[in-house]
Structure 1
Amino acid sequence: MERALAVIRNDSDQTKSLIREAGEIAAGTGADLYLLHVLPEEEYEDIMSSRLESDGKSFPLDEAEMEAEHFATQVGHKSLEGLDVEYEVLGTVGREETAILDVADERDCDHVFISGRKRSPSGKALFGDLTQRILLNFEGRVTVQLHEEE
């Protein structure tokens, strides 16, 4: 592993565990580590509409990207505390699959870390749509950390 992209989807314990694992592996191999949070465009549009209705103010794209980056910074800091690893934090707005694959391609990543959900009551792991699309479309290694569906 030379360059890894760890996707921060939320602030859950599972996400923090995944980011920690990515950091430990990157530290051990000397790999570059990128932390990415994508604000889905549907959420961006909902926030934009809500702000326009409540106070007439817009939610510029660059502000949304800064908020996504800030979120990734907070989760990354909590997850990698005490670990000797350098990383770059990225935030963007858009379709999650496209954004993740585009950033991985732009940064020439050879490994992606992403969370997924277990959905089967019989214990069989079924991946969520986003996780499955990353597994199918990313041309490098993918580490998936599964957690129970909420």
Structure 2
Amino acid sequence: MAIETILLAVGAGDADRLDRLAEETIDVAGPTGATVVIGHVFTKDEYTDALDNLDFDIEAEEVSGDDVARRHASVRELAQKFDAAGLTYEVRGPVGDHGKKLVELTNEVDADRLIVGGRKRSPAGKAVFGSLAQEVMLESPCPVTFVRADTK
């Protein structure tokens, strides 16, 4: 199976693992020539907060989640790394439930691989707080690469 499209899921909690996420994505996308889709899902509240924080003029124009994601600091940092590596990429910013929207986006872009970040969590922590990465791994229509932050 050829890898033509990679969805890289990035969220607000991924700031400490952006280098690792970029490295893992470049390691796969570079040799295969795959297009990378940087996906940043916003809940409705996160989207509204981001509109305010990024000073969008919502009265003058309609602002999509894709527009907001393109201006997010983590996405811009990843885009710079992908530009330097010569990768082809696009940015998507769906609004809704994180897990559900990531799985939908995986289907929508016909991803051959999904890369997600996460942190180590105890079984009790997963039971109490849930695990977005676990939810996505169980529901994803394609193979998932899990990247956690360096534990140094």
TM-score (normalizing by structure 2) = 0.74
User: What does residue range 56-135 of structure 1 map to in structure 2 within 5 Å?
Assistant: 62-63=62-63, 65=65, 66-71=67-72, 73-120=75-122, 129-135=131-137
Q: What is the CA distance between 1:90 and its match in structure 2?
A: 1.2
- Consecutive unaligned residues of structure 1, counting only runs of 5 or more, are 52-56, 121-125
Choose the corresponding residue for 2:139, options 125, 137, 140: 137
Bigger fraction of residues in strand: 1
Of structures 1 and 2, the one scoring higher in RCO (CA 8 A, sep 6+) is: 2
Q: What is the CA distance between 1:77 and its match in structure 2?
A: 2.2
Q: What is the CA distance between 1:148 and its match in structure 2?
A: 7.4
1:94 match: secondary structure: coil
Q: What is the CA distance between 1:76 and its match in structure 2?
A: 2.0
Residue 30 (structure 1) aligned with residue 64 (structure 2): no
Residue 19 (structure 1) aligned with residue 37 (structure 2): no
Q: Which has the larger radius of gyration?
A: 1
- When structure 1 is superposed on structure 2, of 5-14 and 111-120 the one drifting more is 5-14
Q: 1:148 to 1:29 in 2, by over 3 A?
A: closer
What is the one-letter code of the residue matched to 1:36? Answer: G
Aligned partners of 2:36 and 2:134: how far apart in 1?
A: 22
Aligned partners of 1:148 and 1:31: how far apart in 2?
A: 26
2:94 match: secondary structure: strand
Does structure 2 conserve the Cα–Cα contact (< 8 Å) formed by 1:97 and 1:130?
Answer: yes
Q: How many residues align?
A: 139
Q: Residue 43 of structure 2 aligns with which residue?
A: 40
1:92 match: secondary structure: coil
* Sequence identity percentage: 26
How much is the aligned-residue C-alpha RMSD, in angstroms? 3.3
Q: 1:3 to 1:64 in 2, by over 3 A?
A: closer
Q: 1:31 to 1:40 in 2, by over 3 A?
A: same
Q: 1:74 to 1:105 in 2, by over 3 A?
A: same
